[in-house]
Amino acid sequence: MWKEKLGNALIDIAKYFITGVFVTSLVKDLEDVRWLIYLLSLAVAALLFIIGIRLTNNNKDK
């Protein structure tokens, strides 16, 4: 039960992380580091999303 809730929280954090980075880039000019910030934020969000999906996965076949 706690794994599923933690998984859902990590998925939500991944969504908020991506949203925050893109909103910040619209408000403030990030100049030359824009692509680095996009790449790092995408990597962190993808990692959080994958961990969240793994924790919420309920395999009844085990």
pLDDT in tens, 38-52: 888 889 999 999 999
What's the confidence (pLDDT) of residue 43?
92
The model carries a pTM of 0.73
The answer to whether 53 touches 4, Cβ cutoff 8 Å, is no
| Residue 60 predicted with pLDDT over 60 | no
Distance CA 40, CA 46 (A): 10
Query: If 0-12 CB within 10 Å is exposed, 13-18 middle and 19+ buried, where does residue 37 land?
Result: middle
Please state, for a pLDDT cut of 90, what percent of the chain lies above it. 26
pLDDT in tens, 3-38: 888 889 999 999 998 888 888 877 777 677 778 888
